[in-house]
Amino acid sequence: MAADEEHGSVEVASETRSFKELGVTDVLCEACDQLGWKTPTKIQIEAVPVALQGRDIIGLAETGSGKTGAFALPILQALLETPQRFFALVLTPTRELAFQISEQFEALGSSIGVQSAVIVGGIDMMSQSLALAKKPHVVIATPGRLIDHLENTKGFNLRALKYLVMDEADRILNMDFETEVDKILKVIPRDRKTFLFSATMTKKVQKLQRAALKNPVKCAVSSKYQTVEKLQQYYIFIPSKFKDSYLVYILNELAGNSFMIFCSTCNNTQRTALVLRNLGFTAIPLHGQMSQNKRLGSLNKFKAKTRSILLATDVASRGLDIPHVDVVINFDIPTHSKDYIHRVGRTARAGRSGKSITFVTQYDVELFQRIEHLIGKKLPAFPTQEEEVMMLTERVAEAQRFARMELREQGEKKKRSRDEVNDNDDTEEATGIQCP
């Protein structure tokens, strides 16, 4: 039990075993059951009863630990008690995550007829306005011109909202959206309930907490920078001119698994995907320079297991819940060490096990040490046979040559039909990641 001591403890028995015991109403207990959620997770045990008592919440729990359910269930229950259109606004940093949260609300709320709408960049305004015109109960949105859009929508009344959630709160505040968040906080009335959730927290969140929350309960079931226990974490030290050959070696060694590979730029994501495809791997990219349709297409193919390797920038490092991810590879080391925790958290979700391997070149040693310091662990090296890596270099070099040609062709094609621009309002630039 980690309720905020300043504000008194909340009575939640640590031996609580069922959603019903947490105060969740029967119809929602059934919905949990249908999703295969037999017992609540730790963060749900902490957060749901206090949220049902009407308190504001700051929820800190490791990746894949069920934070979405921890804020969705109390909102749905309150909605059942006092049905109202435009009841809750959920802010989240990326478009993919917005869709995922909306799916979770609809899955949990299907039997009570909950409707949600997703408002994100990269999708035509008309269809989003139509979605809002249906007056959904829950709006899930990425910030960025959001407030202008919402305020100009007929029938939408920010002042009537009863719940505000900031999922991945620290990331939202790091995306130059502080001004927008301030505006939103000013417009939504003070008697709203506010939930902030993340697997990592920053000083900015503490500042926001003072400005936005009333007497909140802290539900902290992990330390600020904790990685998941069932995650086996490794690093691999590589001479930089062999970055690609080592990657192919690992993919061969761990063949049969599904992988998320993180790169630091859109360009390297695209290039590496092409190299791997030229070598016969079923690899697919996901980054902020792709159109929204292509982004969702890539994600769906990976989710449906028709592709076993998803190469992505940090646009995919937060929140995405793809239970079958076995291995996360940090092909480029993350520049912000907190992103490491979120990236590796794409595997070993909901009690499963998983592996992460971080590539470290001579230029990354300091960043790597910072990560080890943050998570409070020394990572072991992933065992490699160098001779076997060297044997791959010729084939890899050829695949790289083809990839360069393909990239050039793609660039020229793009120049001719500029159909994939103006599409990155929620992503990399704002966090300092380059998208050349």
Ligand X SMILES: Nc1ncnc2c1ncn2[C@@H]1O[C@H](COP(=O)(O)OP(=O)(O)OP(=O)(O)O)[C@@H](O)[C@H]1O
Rounded to the nearest 10 degrees, how much is the dihedral formed by the CA atoms of 217, 223, 225, 228?
A: -110
Evaluate whether 217 touches 58 at the Cβ level (below 8 Å): yes
CA nearest 69: which of 122, 99, 24, 16?
24
Q: Is 66 in the site for ligand X (CB under 6 A)?
A: yes
How many CB atoms are located within 10 Å of the residue 392 CB?
Answer: 19
Task: Give the integer Cα–Cα distance in Å for 50 and 59.
Answer: 11
CB of 225 to ligand X, least distance (A): 13
Rank residues 143 and 345 by Cβ distance to ligand X and give the closer one: 345
Q: Is 334 in the site for ligand X (CB under 6 A)?
A: no
User: Binders of ligand X: how many residues, by CB under 6 A?
Assistant: 20
Rank residues 44 and 245 by Cβ distance to ligand X and give the closer one: 44
Binding segment (CB under 6 A) for ligand X, from list 8-16, 47-55, 176-184, 318-326: 318-326
Classify residue 265 as exposed, middle or buried by CB count within 10 Å of its CB (0-12, 13-18, 19+). middle
Q: Residue from 3, 22, 40, 47 that binds ligand X (CB under 6 A)?
A: 40
Q: Is 345 in the site for ligand X (CB under 6 A)?
A: yes
CB of 200 to ligand X, least distance (A): 9
Rank residues 95 and 349 by Cβ distance to ligand X and give the closer one: 349
Q: Residue from 321, 339, 364, 428 that binds ligand X (CB under 6 A)?
A: 321
Binding segment (CB under 6 A) for ligand X, from list 148-156, 272-280, 302-310, 319-327: 319-327
Rank residues 64 and 288 by Cβ distance to ligand X and give the closer one: 64
Rank residues 64 and 216 by Cβ distance to ligand X and give the closer one: 64
Binding segment (CB under 6 A) for ligand X, from list 49-57, 60-68, 128-136, 222-230: 60-68
Q: Residue from 319, 328, 340, 359 that binds ligand X (CB under 6 A)?
A: 319
Per-residue three-class SS string for the chain: CCCCHHHCCCCCCCCCCCCHHHCCCHHHHHHHHHCCCCCCCHHHHHHHHHHHCCCCEEEECCCCCCHHHHHHHHHHHHHHHCCCCCCEEEECCCHHHHHHHHHHHHHHHHHHCCCEEEECCCCCHHHHHHHHHCCCCEEEECCCCHHHHHHCCCCCCHHHCCEEEEECHHHHHCCCCHHHHHHHHHHCCCCCEEEEEECCCCHHHHHHHHHHCCCCEEEECCCCCCCCCCEEEEEEECCHHHHHHHHHHHHHHCCCCCEEEECCCHHHHHHHHHHHHHCCCCEEEECCCCCHHHHHHHHHHHHCCCCCEEEECHHHCCCCCCCCCCEEEECCCCCCHHHHHHHHCCCCCCCCCEEEEEEECHHHHHHHHHHHHHHCCCCCECCCCHHHHHHHHHHHHHHHHHHHHHHHHHHHHHHHCCCCCCCCCCCCHHHCCCCC
Rank residues 28 and 158 by Cβ distance to ligand X and give the closer one: 28
Rank residues 40 and 136 by Cβ distance to ligand X and give the closer one: 40
Rank residues 40 and 285 by Cβ distance to ligand X and give the closer one: 40
Q: Is 64 in the site for ligand X (CB under 6 A)?
A: yes
Q: Is 59 in the site for ligand X (CB under 6 A)?
A: no
- The dihedral of CA 38, 43, 44, 45: what is its sign? positive
* Amino acid in position 170: D
Site for ligand X in 160-219 (CB under 6 A): 199
CB of 66 to ligand X, least distance (A): 3
Binding segment (CB under 6 A) for ligand X, from list 178-186, 234-242, 271-279, 345-353: 345-353
Q: Is 37 in the site for ligand X (CB under 6 A)?
A: yes
Binding segment (CB under 6 A) for ligand X, from list 39-47, 184-192, 393-401, 404-412: 39-47
CB of 33 to ligand X, least distance (A): 10
CB of 343 to ligand X, least distance (A): 10
Q: Residue from 80, 112, 350, 430 that binds ligand X (CB under 6 A)?
A: 350
CA-based radius of gyration for the chain = 22
Q: Is 235 in the site for ligand X (CB under 6 A)?
A: no
Binding segment (CB under 6 A) for ligand X, from list 74-82, 149-157, 242-250, 342-350: 342-350
Q: Is 109 in the site for ligand X (CB under 6 A)?
A: no
CB of 104 to ligand X, least distance (A): 7
Rank residues 42 and 243 by Cβ distance to ligand X and give the closer one: 42
Binding segment (CB under 6 A) for ligand X, from list 3-11, 59-67, 146-154, 258-266: 59-67
Q: Is 67 in the site for ligand X (CB under 6 A)?
A: yes
Q: Given the rule CB under 6 A, which residues bind ligand X?
A: 35, 37, 40-41, 44, 61, 63-69, 199, 319, 321, 323, 345, 349-350
